[in-house]
Chains A and B, each alone.
Chain A
Amino acid sequence: MALVQLKGISKSFGSENAVNGLDLEIKHGEFFVLLGPTGAGKTTTLRIISGLEKPDQGKVLINGEDVTEMQPAFRDTAFVFQQYSLYPNYTVFDNLAFPLRSPFRGIPQTEIQAMVENVAKLLKIEDKLNSSVTSLSGGEMQRVAIGRALIRKPNIYLMDEPLSSLDAKLREILRLELKRIQMEMEATILYVTHDQIEAMTMADSIGVLNQGILEQVGTPAEIYNRPCSTYVASRLGSPHINLVPVSLFKHPSLPVGTEILGIRPEDLLIKSENNNSSNISSSAFSENWISGSVSLVENLGAEIILSLSVEGHELQALVDSGNSYQQGDSIQLNYTLDKALHFDTNGQLI
């Protein structure tokens, strides 16, 4: 069992607060994703858990034991770095075997051999075992780096944007593989990323970080459907959520204090001359249609992203590719009432 808890962790570099009073709990076998933009304190959090960085305040607990003052070597965590960080003078085999050869472990050679082959098979790099790591492609290097973490059975795997330097296709493949491996091994993973798709697809839980403060923790569905603030709402979803002043849609009965409406692009309803009933099925919507025009059409194949210009506001809508829109079309706009999110002046969900 591995249970990792952070209690009131703060860390600053000079005058910059990297992490501010962070409380976090990662349960055994959980795939936890920390989501946030550059500088939100994601990497610092990882480094504090691994022991590469000491927090200014707060405690790190692994399985209930306070490890705040413990050296990295004795915390039994595995770290996958963004820059692969493979040992450049060694073969893939030696890189994978490196953690096992630690003098603190003392695993016999035959066992090491078997474990390395096992992990190589899991990551589909068996045929590369004797190659030098400098001759590998980016994707292969990252597999080796992940493999070097997987080969141990640590308390927790810490992964620092491991897929961010790969191309889109490879990223997609490794994303699925990583999730599969995690479920097979029942591994506990803390995964840091700024990529919302990685967060949505892999996570059991997502924590959204904003300038060193944890804004919200929840399942991907919770975070997507009930974001606690406009910040969280705009971190997830592509194209991202439309945040418009409540006055735009002149709807009479909204919760008290609503200032900002958050409407996902797929929840916008559009009427136009050519496409009379796009997105409009049985959902309740108000009778107040407002008019605007199409300023850009992006065809993604299965769907179309429409950029709409409505009374000085830019909105984005997602519609089926069965519809045909032209730039400059005039449209009538509305939204599904019960899907809309209501935020107050401070951007907090009501």
Chain B
Amino acid sequence: MKQIFRKAYGLSDRAVTWIFVTPTIILLLAVNIYPLIYAIRMSFTNFYANKPGREIKFVGLKNYIKILNKEDIWETMQATAHFMFWTLLLQALIGLGLALLLKRNFKGNDILTTIIVLPMMLSPAVVAVFWTYIYQPQSGIFNYIINYFFNFGEFTMIGDVQLAPWSIIIVDTWMWTPFTMLICLAGLKSIPDYLYEAAEVDRASRFQQFLHITLPSVLPFLLLALLFRGIENFKMFDLVVELTGGGPGSTTELASINLKREAFEKWRTGYSSAFAVIMFVTIFGLGNIWVKVMNKVKEK
């Protein structure tokens, strides 16, 4: 191969390597690295993208200070944290539970798995539209089912200040639990049967088998699934915008929705760049800590 290349085109191995890699590098620089650096630069200015003629002034850390002192930013952060905590927790528990059920061999196992995975394949915007109908106070099936069992009387999921944050948690969990389930299932299937057999002969109870064999083996997989879900949900946008639009008031206004408003409705480009950088650093930091934890668990 080497010989042929050299003879035909007069290229060395190194040259061939560069020919293959260069397009990727250029693309990466153009669409990832350059915008990132540009955004960081803009975050130190008072740039407004809708006022092209205006002079751009360097303002130092003023944007950052303003953001960190603003109460409603902290509220969106809180809303995001609340959303992330509950979606990740629910998706971990339900996903692992479903995976444990589906691990057993029974008839129709494959079909059931496919059905459970379906929500994941839908578009978030479509899911959101569906759920606005499901959540309809008078005609929606959600209210009907809840009232059938608990009889709360009339209530609205999306319109209520107390319930709206939960409405988005429920939809995200409905849509993405299959994802954690699939990854947990892969983990569970990698555990050899003879470990359970050994434990059984060693007189381990079912609970002990779960604690000592299943859980340690599946935990790295679960943490990986949660890492993906965490990153996704930190920047959650489409589902929530379609479902609640951030409302009522700003109860479901997640950080990313607030950011979009600042950047593309109020056009405070410099200010929102600073916000974006803060979000980037946050998720980057959290992600790194998570990966460290994951590696610890894997080593053990």
A contact set with B: CB distance below 8 Å = 50-52, 71-74, 77-79, 81, 83, 85, 87-90, 98-99, 102-105, 132, 148
Distance of B205 from chain A, by nearest CB (Å)? 6
Besides A85-B197, A98-B199, A99-B202, 7 other A-B contacts (C-beta < 8 A): A52-B200, A71-B200, A72-B201, A74-B203, A78-B202, A89-B217, A102-B205
CB < 8 Å neighbour of A90 from B197, B201, B208, B212: B212
Which residue of chain A has the shortest Cβ distance to B299 in the bound complex? A132
Distance of A132 from chain B, by nearest CB (Å)? 8
- Residue pairs across A and B with Cβ atoms less than 8 A apart, 14 shown, are A51-B201, A72-B197, A73-B204, A77-B201, A78-B202, A79-B198, A81-B197, A85-B198, A87-B212, A87-B213, A89-B300, A98-B202, A103-B205, A132-B300
Distance of B192 from chain A, by nearest CB (Å)? 7
CB of B201 within 8 A of CB of A102, answer no
For B197, B202, B216, which residue has the most chain A Cβ atoms within 10 angstroms?
B202
B217 contacts across to A, CB distance below 8 A: 88-89
CB of B195 within 8 A of CB of A87, answer yes
CB of B204 within 8 A of CB of A52, answer no
Interface membership of B152, Cβ < 8 A: no
Given A90-B212, A98-B212, answer yes or no on A85-B194 (Cβ-Cβ < 8 Å): yes
Which residue of chain A has the shortest Cβ distance to B197 in the bound complex? A52
For A51, A83, A88, which residue has the most chain B Cβ atoms within 10 angstroms?
A88
A77 contacts across to B, CB distance below 8 A: 201
B203 contacts across to A, CB distance below 8 A: 73-74, 99, 102, 104-105
CB < 8 Å neighbour of B208 from A71, A74, A102: A102
CB of B205 within 8 A of CB of A81, answer no
Q: How far is the CA of A71 from the CA of B197 in the complex (A)?
A: 12
Total interface residues on B, CB under 8 Å, equals 18
CB of B300 within 8 A of CB of A73, answer no
Q: How far is the CA of A33 from the CA of B195 in the complex (A)?
A: 24
Q: By DSSP majority rule, is chain B's interface helix, strand, loop, or mixed?
A: helix
A89 contacts across to B, CB distance below 8 A: 212, 216-217, 300
Q: How far is the CA of A77 from the CA of B200 in the complex (A)?
A: 10
3 closest residue pairs by CB, A with B: A89-B216, A102-B203, A99-B202
A78 contacts across to B, CB distance below 8 A: 201-202
Q: How far is the CA of A71 from the CA of B25 in the complex (A)?
A: 61
CB of A79 within 8 A of CB of B208, answer no
For B198, B200, B201, which residue has the most chain A Cβ atoms within 10 angstroms?
B201
B201 contacts across to A, CB distance below 8 A: 50-52, 72-73, 77-79
Q: How far is the CA of A350 from the CA of B132 in the complex (A)?
A: 88
For B195, B197, B208, B213, which residue has the most chain A Cβ atoms within 10 angstroms?
B197
Q: How far is the CA of A104 from the CA of B202 in the complex (A)?
A: 10
Q: How far is the CA of A98 from the CA of B203 in the complex (A)?
A: 9
Distance of A133 from chain B, by nearest CB (Å)? 12
Interface string of B213-225 (1 = CB under 8 A from A): 1001100000000
Q: How far is the CA of A267 from the CA of B222 in the complex (A)?
A: 65
CB of B208 within 8 A of CB of A73, answer no
Distance of B198 from chain A, by nearest CB (Å)? 4
Q: How far is the CA of A78 from the CA of B198 in the complex (A)?
A: 9
CB < 8 Å neighbour of A83 from B194, B213, B216, B300: B194
Given A98-B204, A102-B204, A104-B203, answer yes or no on A79-B197 (Cβ-Cβ < 8 Å): yes
Distance of B190 from chain A, by nearest CB (Å)? 11
For A85, A99, A102, A132, which residue has the most chain B Cβ atoms within 10 angstroms?
A85
Distance of B223 from chain A, by nearest CB (Å)? 14
B192 contacts across to A, CB distance below 8 A: 83, 85
CB of A103 within 8 A of CB of B198, answer no
Distance of A109 from chain B, by nearest CB (Å)? 16
